[in-house]
Structure 1
Amino acid sequence: MDYIVTGIDFFQKGGAVMYVLLLCSMFVVAIGIERALHFKRMDSGRDFAKDFYQQVAAGQYERAASLLQNGHGVLAAIIMAAVQKENREQAAHYMELQSGIALSRMRQRLYYLSVIVTLAPLLGLLGTISGMISSFSVFNVASGQATAITGGVGEALIATAMGLCVAIAALTVHAYFSQRLENIITDMEQSFSLVEEHIASLREVGENVAEGTLAMEGGTR
Protein backbone atom coordinates (compact mmCIF):
# COMPACT_ATOMS: atom_id res chain seq x y z
CA MET A 1 0.00 0.00 0.00
CA ASP A 2 2.86 2.36 0.80
CA TYR A 3 4.36 1.75 -2.65
CA ILE A 4 1.08 2.76 -4.29
CA VAL A 5 0.86 5.94 -2.26
CA THR A 6 4.50 6.76 -3.04
CA GLY A 7 3.94 6.11 -6.72
CA ILE A 8 0.90 8.37 -6.84
CA ASP A 9 2.86 11.07 -5.01
CA PHE A 10 5.73 10.85 -7.49
CA PHE A 11 3.25 10.90 -10.39
CA GLN A 12 1.61 14.09 -9.17
CA LYS A 13 4.98 15.75 -8.65
CA GLY A 14 5.81 15.18 -12.30
CA GLY A 15 3.32 17.77 -13.42
CA ALA A 16 0.51 17.89 -15.95
CA VAL A 17 2.64 16.19 -18.63
CA MET A 18 2.47 12.99 -16.61
CA TYR A 19 -1.21 12.60 -17.47
CA VAL A 20 -0.42 12.83 -21.18
CA LEU A 21 2.33 10.25 -20.76
CA LEU A 22 -0.09 8.02 -18.84
CA LEU A 23 -2.50 8.16 -21.78
CA CYS A 24 0.37 7.29 -24.13
CA SER A 25 1.30 4.29 -22.01
CA MET A 26 -2.31 3.08 -21.96
CA PHE A 27 -2.40 3.54 -25.74
CA VAL A 28 0.73 1.40 -26.12
CA VAL A 29 -0.80 -1.37 -24.00
CA ALA A 30 -4.07 -1.23 -25.96
CA ILE A 31 -2.26 -1.43 -29.31
CA GLY A 32 -0.09 -4.30 -28.07
CA ILE A 33 -3.10 -6.34 -26.97
CA GLU A 34 -5.10 -5.59 -30.13
CA ARG A 35 -2.18 -6.43 -32.43
CA ALA A 36 -1.40 -9.62 -30.50
CA LEU A 37 -4.96 -10.85 -31.00
CA HIS A 38 -4.92 -9.84 -34.67
CA PHE A 39 -1.59 -11.56 -35.37
CA LYS A 40 -2.76 -14.68 -33.55
CA ARG A 41 -5.78 -14.84 -35.85
CA MET A 42 -3.93 -13.99 -39.08
CA ASP A 43 -0.56 -15.70 -38.61
CA SER A 44 -0.46 -19.30 -39.85
CA GLY A 45 2.71 -19.92 -37.89
CA ARG A 46 6.28 -20.66 -38.83
CA ASP A 47 5.76 -24.38 -38.27
CA PHE A 48 3.00 -24.44 -40.88
CA ALA A 49 5.13 -22.59 -43.43
CA LYS A 50 8.10 -24.88 -42.78
CA ASP A 51 6.05 -28.09 -43.00
CA PHE A 52 4.25 -26.94 -46.14
CA TYR A 53 7.50 -25.99 -47.84
CA GLN A 54 9.11 -29.34 -46.99
CA GLN A 55 6.11 -31.38 -48.16
CA VAL A 56 5.80 -29.56 -51.49
CA ALA A 57 9.57 -29.63 -52.12
CA ALA A 58 9.54 -33.38 -51.47
CA GLY A 59 6.60 -33.93 -53.80
CA GLN A 60 4.23 -34.93 -51.01
CA TYR A 61 1.31 -32.99 -52.47
CA GLU A 62 -1.42 -34.85 -50.61
CA ARG A 63 0.17 -34.02 -47.27
CA ALA A 64 0.62 -30.43 -48.39
CA ALA A 65 -3.05 -30.22 -49.35
CA SER A 66 -4.00 -31.70 -45.99
CA LEU A 67 -1.90 -29.04 -44.26
CA LEU A 68 -3.74 -26.34 -46.21
CA GLN A 69 -7.14 -27.70 -45.24
CA ASN A 70 -6.26 -28.06 -41.58
CA GLY A 71 -4.23 -24.86 -41.38
CA HIS A 72 -5.42 -21.50 -40.14
CA GLY A 73 -4.38 -17.95 -40.80
CA VAL A 74 -3.96 -15.84 -43.89
CA LEU A 75 -1.10 -17.80 -45.50
CA ALA A 76 -3.03 -21.06 -45.60
CA ALA A 77 -6.17 -19.30 -46.85
CA ILE A 78 -4.33 -17.47 -49.66
CA ILE A 79 -2.53 -20.59 -50.90
CA MET A 80 -5.72 -22.67 -50.70
CA ALA A 81 -7.54 -20.18 -52.91
CA ALA A 82 -4.57 -19.66 -55.25
CA VAL A 83 -4.17 -23.33 -56.17
CA GLN A 84 -7.77 -23.31 -57.41
CA LYS A 85 -7.01 -20.69 -60.08
CA GLU A 86 -6.95 -21.70 -63.72
CA ASN A 87 -3.29 -20.95 -64.44
CA ARG A 88 -0.04 -19.88 -62.88
CA GLU A 89 -0.40 -16.21 -63.81
CA GLN A 90 -3.79 -15.88 -62.12
CA ALA A 91 -2.51 -17.64 -59.03
CA ALA A 92 0.55 -15.38 -58.82
CA HIS A 93 -1.57 -12.26 -59.24
CA TYR A 94 -4.03 -13.44 -56.61
CA MET A 95 -1.31 -14.26 -54.08
CA GLU A 96 0.40 -10.93 -54.63
CA LEU A 97 -2.82 -8.96 -54.23
CA GLN A 98 -4.17 -10.79 -51.21
CA SER A 99 -0.82 -10.87 -49.41
CA GLY A 100 -0.50 -7.11 -49.90
CA ILE A 101 -3.93 -6.56 -48.35
CA ALA A 102 -3.18 -8.90 -45.43
CA LEU A 103 0.20 -7.30 -44.70
CA SER A 104 -1.33 -3.84 -44.84
CA ARG A 105 -3.85 -4.86 -42.19
CA MET A 106 -1.09 -6.29 -40.03
CA ARG A 107 0.85 -3.02 -40.23
CA GLN A 108 -2.12 -1.02 -39.00
CA ARG A 109 -1.50 0.96 -35.79
CA LEU A 110 2.20 0.08 -35.71
CA TYR A 111 2.89 3.59 -36.99
CA TYR A 112 1.34 5.03 -33.84
CA LEU A 113 3.90 3.14 -31.76
CA SER A 114 6.76 4.71 -33.68
CA VAL A 115 5.18 8.13 -33.09
CA ILE A 116 4.99 7.48 -29.34
CA VAL A 117 8.64 6.38 -29.33
CA THR A 118 9.59 9.86 -30.53
CA LEU A 119 6.88 11.81 -28.74
CA ALA A 120 7.16 10.40 -25.21
CA PRO A 121 10.76 11.56 -24.48
CA LEU A 122 9.92 15.00 -25.86
CA LEU A 123 6.90 15.25 -23.58
CA GLY A 124 9.03 14.15 -20.64
CA LEU A 125 11.63 16.76 -21.52
CA LEU A 126 8.91 19.39 -21.76
CA GLY A 127 7.68 18.48 -18.28
CA THR A 128 11.21 18.63 -16.91
CA ILE A 129 11.91 22.04 -18.42
CA SER A 130 8.61 23.35 -17.10
CA GLY A 131 9.43 22.05 -13.61
CA MET A 132 12.94 23.51 -13.70
CA ILE A 133 11.61 26.90 -14.71
CA SER A 134 9.38 26.83 -11.66
CA SER A 135 12.25 25.70 -9.43
CA PHE A 136 14.59 28.46 -10.61
CA SER A 137 12.00 31.15 -10.27
CA VAL A 138 13.06 34.58 -9.11
CA PHE A 139 11.29 34.16 -5.79
CA ASN A 140 13.19 31.01 -4.78
CA VAL A 141 16.56 32.41 -5.81
CA ALA A 142 15.96 35.75 -4.08
CA SER A 143 15.02 34.09 -0.81
CA GLY A 144 18.00 31.77 -0.97
CA GLN A 145 15.98 28.55 -0.74
CA ALA A 146 18.62 26.20 -2.15
CA THR A 147 16.85 23.09 -0.86
CA ALA A 148 13.65 24.08 -2.57
CA ILE A 149 15.50 24.61 -5.84
CA THR A 150 17.33 21.27 -5.83
CA GLY A 151 14.21 19.44 -4.70
CA GLY A 152 12.23 21.02 -7.50
CA VAL A 153 14.79 19.90 -10.08
CA GLY A 154 14.59 16.34 -8.76
CA GLU A 155 10.82 16.35 -9.06
CA ALA A 156 11.04 17.81 -12.56
CA LEU A 157 13.21 14.89 -13.72
CA ILE A 158 10.34 12.49 -12.94
CA ALA A 159 8.66 13.56 -16.19
CA THR A 160 11.78 12.71 -18.22
CA ALA A 161 12.05 9.30 -16.56
CA MET A 162 8.38 8.61 -17.28
CA GLY A 163 8.77 9.68 -20.90
CA LEU A 164 11.76 7.38 -21.39
CA CYS A 165 9.89 4.44 -19.84
CA VAL A 166 6.92 4.96 -22.16
CA ALA A 167 9.22 5.27 -25.17
CA ILE A 168 11.09 2.08 -24.25
CA ALA A 169 7.81 0.16 -23.86
CA ALA A 170 6.52 1.44 -27.22
CA LEU A 171 9.82 0.62 -28.93
CA THR A 172 9.77 -2.92 -27.52
CA VAL A 173 6.22 -3.59 -28.70
CA HIS A 174 6.94 -2.07 -32.12
CA ALA A 175 10.13 -4.10 -32.56
CA TYR A 176 8.37 -7.34 -31.60
CA PHE A 177 5.55 -6.97 -34.12
CA SER A 178 7.88 -5.63 -36.82
CA GLN A 179 10.08 -8.72 -36.50
CA ARG A 180 7.04 -10.98 -36.49
CA LEU A 181 5.79 -9.24 -39.63
CA GLU A 182 9.16 -9.78 -41.33
CA ASN A 183 8.93 -13.50 -40.53
CA ILE A 184 5.46 -13.65 -42.08
CA ILE A 185 6.70 -11.88 -45.21
CA THR A 186 9.58 -14.33 -45.53
CA ASP A 187 7.24 -17.32 -45.13
CA MET A 188 4.89 -15.88 -47.75
CA GLU A 189 7.65 -15.30 -50.30
CA GLN A 190 9.07 -18.80 -49.90
CA SER A 191 5.68 -20.51 -49.98
CA PHE A 192 4.35 -18.48 -52.92
CA SER A 193 7.40 -19.14 -55.08
CA LEU A 194 7.05 -22.86 -54.42
CA VAL A 195 3.32 -22.81 -55.15
CA GLU A 196 3.94 -21.20 -58.54
CA GLU A 197 6.34 -24.00 -59.46
CA HIS A 198 4.04 -26.83 -58.35
CA ILE A 199 0.62 -25.28 -58.84
CA ALA A 200 -0.59 -27.90 -61.33
CA SER A 201 0.12 -30.79 -58.97
CA LEU A 202 -1.29 -28.95 -55.98
CA ARG A 203 -4.48 -28.08 -57.89
CA GLU A 204 -5.05 -31.68 -58.94
CA VAL A 205 -4.45 -33.07 -55.47
CA GLY A 206 -6.52 -30.29 -53.90
CA GLU A 207 -9.48 -31.11 -56.14
CA ASN A 208 -9.23 -34.79 -55.26
CA VAL A 209 -9.06 -34.05 -51.56
CA ALA A 210 -12.01 -31.68 -51.84
CA GLU A 211 -14.08 -34.28 -53.73
CA GLY A 212 -13.22 -36.89 -51.11
CA THR A 213 -14.25 -34.55 -48.32
CA LEU A 214 -17.59 -33.80 -50.01
CA ALA A 215 -18.20 -37.50 -50.51
CA MET A 216 -17.56 -38.23 -46.87
CA GLU A 217 -19.88 -35.42 -45.80
CA GLY A 218 -22.60 -36.72 -48.13
CA GLY A 219 -22.24 -40.23 -46.76
CA THR A 220 -22.44 -38.99 -43.21
CA ARG A 221 -25.67 -37.15 -43.93
Structure 2
Amino acid sequence: SILVKPQKIMAQTLIDKVTTAMSEGDVLKALKACESEPGPLANILVAGFSHVEEGFDIIQEAIGTAADIETERLMQRLNWISVMANIAPMLGLLGTVQGMIMAFEGLATGAPDVGALALAISQALWTTAGGLVVAIPTVTFFYGIRNNANRVILRMQAMTFELIKDLRNVEVVEN
Protein backbone atom coordinates (compact mmCIF):
# COMPACT_ATOMS: atom_id res chain seq x y z
CA SER A 1 0.00 0.00 0.00
CA ILE A 2 1.28 3.45 -0.86
CA LEU A 3 -1.08 5.35 1.37
CA VAL A 4 0.44 6.43 4.65
CA LYS A 5 -2.17 5.79 7.33
CA PRO A 6 -1.32 7.24 10.74
CA GLN A 7 -3.58 4.71 12.50
CA LYS A 8 -1.47 1.85 11.08
CA ILE A 9 1.84 3.47 11.91
CA MET A 10 0.81 4.75 15.34
CA ALA A 11 -1.96 2.49 16.58
CA GLN A 12 -4.00 4.25 19.26
CA THR A 13 -4.30 1.02 21.26
CA LEU A 14 -0.49 0.84 21.43
CA ILE A 15 -0.24 4.46 22.51
CA ASP A 16 -2.86 3.88 25.21
CA LYS A 17 -1.16 0.72 26.52
CA VAL A 18 2.30 2.31 26.58
CA THR A 19 0.96 5.49 28.20
CA THR A 20 -0.70 3.42 30.94
CA ALA A 21 2.40 1.28 31.47
CA MET A 22 4.67 4.32 31.65
CA SER A 23 2.36 6.11 34.08
CA GLU A 24 2.67 3.01 36.28
CA GLY A 25 6.44 3.06 35.83
CA ASP A 26 6.33 -0.41 34.27
CA VAL A 27 8.77 -0.43 31.35
CA LEU A 28 8.46 -4.21 30.93
CA LYS A 29 4.70 -3.86 30.48
CA ALA A 30 5.31 -1.10 27.91
CA LEU A 31 7.78 -3.34 26.09
CA LYS A 32 5.26 -6.20 26.03
CA ALA A 33 2.61 -3.82 24.68
CA CYS A 34 4.95 -2.90 21.83
CA GLU A 35 5.61 -6.54 21.05
CA SER A 36 1.87 -7.27 20.93
CA GLU A 37 1.15 -4.35 18.55
CA PRO A 38 3.82 -4.53 15.82
CA GLY A 39 4.46 -1.53 13.62
CA PRO A 40 6.83 1.38 13.10
CA LEU A 41 6.05 3.16 16.39
CA ALA A 42 6.30 -0.11 18.32
CA ASN A 43 9.67 -0.89 16.69
CA ILE A 44 11.02 2.51 17.68
CA LEU A 45 9.78 2.22 21.25
CA VAL A 46 11.18 -1.32 21.58
CA ALA A 47 14.58 0.04 20.56
CA GLY A 48 14.37 2.59 23.37
CA PHE A 49 12.89 0.34 26.04
CA SER A 50 15.53 -2.31 25.30
CA HIS A 51 18.24 0.11 26.43
CA VAL A 52 16.56 1.42 29.59
CA GLU A 53 19.40 0.13 31.78
CA GLU A 54 21.99 2.11 29.80
CA GLY A 55 20.68 5.59 30.45
CA PHE A 56 18.60 8.18 28.64
CA ASP A 57 21.29 9.25 26.16
CA ILE A 58 21.62 5.68 24.89
CA ILE A 59 17.83 5.35 24.79
CA GLN A 60 17.60 8.47 22.63
CA GLU A 61 20.36 7.23 20.34
CA ALA A 62 18.65 3.85 19.92
CA ILE A 63 15.33 5.54 19.21
CA GLY A 64 16.95 7.86 16.69
CA THR A 65 18.51 4.93 14.84
CA ALA A 66 15.26 2.95 14.88
CA ALA A 67 13.32 6.02 13.69
CA ASP A 68 15.74 6.44 10.79
CA ILE A 69 15.23 2.80 9.80
CA GLU A 70 11.44 3.04 10.02
CA THR A 71 11.44 6.31 8.07
CA GLU A 72 13.55 4.73 5.32
CA ARG A 73 11.21 1.70 5.16
CA LEU A 74 8.23 3.99 4.81
CA MET A 75 9.85 6.15 2.14
CA GLN A 76 11.03 3.12 0.14
CA ARG A 77 7.39 2.24 -0.40
CA LEU A 78 6.93 5.61 -2.12
CA ASN A 79 10.05 5.65 -4.30
CA TRP A 80 8.53 3.77 -7.22
CA ILE A 81 6.07 6.64 -7.73
CA SER A 82 8.97 9.06 -8.10
CA VAL A 83 10.74 6.69 -10.50
CA MET A 84 7.62 6.43 -12.65
CA ALA A 85 7.22 10.22 -12.70
CA ASN A 86 10.84 10.66 -13.78
CA ILE A 87 10.89 7.92 -16.42
CA ALA A 88 7.61 8.82 -18.15
CA PRO A 89 8.85 12.02 -19.86
CA MET A 90 12.11 10.29 -20.83
CA LEU A 91 10.18 7.49 -22.51
CA GLY A 92 8.06 10.10 -24.26
CA LEU A 93 11.17 11.90 -25.44
CA LEU A 94 12.66 8.61 -26.64
CA GLY A 95 9.55 8.03 -28.74
CA THR A 96 9.80 11.56 -30.10
CA VAL A 97 13.44 11.13 -31.05
CA GLN A 98 12.67 7.81 -32.71
CA GLY A 99 9.76 9.39 -34.61
CA MET A 100 11.92 12.33 -35.71
CA ILE A 101 14.63 9.96 -36.97
CA MET A 102 12.04 8.07 -38.98
CA ALA A 103 10.58 11.32 -40.33
CA PHE A 104 13.95 12.56 -41.49
CA GLU A 105 14.86 9.15 -42.95
CA GLY A 106 11.71 9.40 -45.03
CA LEU A 107 12.71 12.90 -46.07
CA ALA A 108 16.20 11.74 -47.07
CA THR A 109 14.93 9.02 -49.42
CA GLY A 110 13.13 11.25 -51.86
CA ALA A 111 11.64 14.59 -52.68
CA PRO A 112 10.43 16.43 -49.57
CA ASP A 113 6.72 16.06 -48.92
CA VAL A 114 5.93 18.78 -46.43
CA GLY A 115 2.59 17.24 -45.46
CA ALA A 116 4.08 13.81 -44.76
CA LEU A 117 6.96 15.38 -42.82
CA ALA A 118 4.57 17.45 -40.71
CA LEU A 119 2.44 14.38 -40.00
CA ALA A 120 5.49 12.32 -38.97
CA ILE A 121 6.73 15.10 -36.65
CA SER A 122 3.24 15.49 -35.19
CA GLN A 123 3.05 11.77 -34.47
CA ALA A 124 6.52 11.86 -32.90
CA LEU A 125 5.55 14.70 -30.57
CA TRP A 126 2.54 12.79 -29.27
CA THR A 127 4.86 10.46 -27.36
CA THR A 128 6.34 13.42 -25.47
CA ALA A 129 2.83 14.62 -24.70
CA GLY A 130 1.94 11.13 -23.46
CA GLY A 131 4.98 11.06 -21.20
CA LEU A 132 4.05 14.43 -19.74
CA VAL A 133 0.43 13.36 -19.25
CA VAL A 134 1.72 10.51 -17.09
CA ALA A 135 4.49 12.48 -15.34
CA ILE A 136 2.67 15.65 -14.25
CA PRO A 137 -0.08 14.04 -12.14
CA THR A 138 2.34 11.38 -10.89
CA VAL A 139 4.78 14.02 -9.61
CA THR A 140 1.90 15.85 -7.94
CA PHE A 141 0.66 12.61 -6.38
CA PHE A 142 4.17 11.69 -5.20
CA TYR A 143 4.74 15.01 -3.45
CA GLY A 144 1.31 14.85 -1.82
CA ILE A 145 1.95 11.33 -0.51
CA ARG A 146 5.51 12.21 0.54
CA ASN A 147 4.34 15.29 2.45
CA ASN A 148 1.70 13.21 4.21
CA ALA A 149 4.35 10.63 5.10
CA ASN A 150 6.61 13.36 6.49
CA ARG A 151 3.76 14.69 8.65
CA VAL A 152 3.09 11.20 10.01
CA ILE A 153 6.81 10.67 10.67
CA LEU A 154 7.03 13.94 12.60
CA ARG A 155 3.95 13.00 14.63
CA MET A 156 5.45 9.59 15.33
CA GLN A 157 8.72 11.16 16.51
CA ALA A 158 6.86 13.58 18.77
CA MET A 159 4.75 10.74 20.16
CA THR A 160 7.86 8.63 20.78
CA PHE A 161 9.55 11.32 22.83
CA GLU A 162 6.31 11.99 24.71
CA LEU A 163 6.06 8.30 25.60
CA ILE A 164 9.68 7.94 26.73
CA LYS A 165 10.12 11.26 28.54
CA ASP A 166 9.52 9.54 31.88
CA LEU A 167 12.61 7.39 31.28
CA ARG A 168 14.89 10.36 32.03
CA ASN A 169 14.93 9.61 35.72
CA VAL A 170 14.29 5.87 35.69
CA GLU A 171 16.17 3.78 38.18
CA VAL A 172 16.51 0.13 37.31
CA VAL A 173 15.32 -2.05 40.17
CA GLU A 174 15.98 -5.77 39.97
CA ASN A 175 13.54 -8.10 41.70
TM over 0.5: yes
5+ residue gaps, structure 2, are: 25-29
Q: Which residue number in structure 1 is paired with residue 27 of structure 2?
A: none
CA distance in 1, matches of 2:47, 2:70: 14
Q: Which residue number in structure 2 is paired with residue 82 of structure 1?
A: 48
Normalised to the residue count of structure 2, the TM-score between the two structures is 0.64
| Aligned partner letter, 2:89 | P
- 1:97-140 per-position Cα deviation (integer Å, ceiling 9, x unaligned): 21112222223264454344333213312322331343354258
Distance 1:202 1:161, change over 3 A: farther
Tell me the C-alpha RMSD between the 2 structures.
Answer: 4.2
CA distance in 2, matches of 1:175, 1:186: 16
* 1:158 correspondence with 2:96: no
Q: Which residue number in structure 2 is paired with residue 186 of structure 1?
A: 154
- 1:183-206 per-position Cα deviation (integer Å, ceiling 9, x unaligned): 2320232123223421279999xx
Q: 1:94 aligns with which of 58, 62, 81?
A: 62
Distance 1:48 1:172, change over 3 A: farther
Q: 2:23 aligns with which of 57, 61, 67?
A: 61
Distance 1:201 1:157, change over 3 A: same
CA distance in 2, matches of 1:130, 1:69: 56
Q: 1:119 aligns with which of 87, 96, 102?
A: 87
* 1:144 correspondence with 2:108: no
CA distance in 1, matches of 2:170, 2:149: 27
Bigger RCO of structures 1 and 2 (CA < 8 A, at least 6 apart):
1
Seq. identity, %: 26
CA distance in 2, matches of 1:152, 1:203: 78
Q: Which residue number in structure 2 is paired with residue 130 of structure 1?
A: 98
Distance 1:127 1:69, change over 3 A: closer
Normalised to the residue count of structure 1, the TM-score between the two structures is 0.53
Structure number with higher helix proportion: 1
5+ residue gaps, structure 1, are: 1-32, 205-221
Q: Which residue number in structure 2 is paired with residue 44 of structure 1?
A: 9
Aligned positions, number? 162
CA distance in 1, matches of 2:81, 2:171: 42
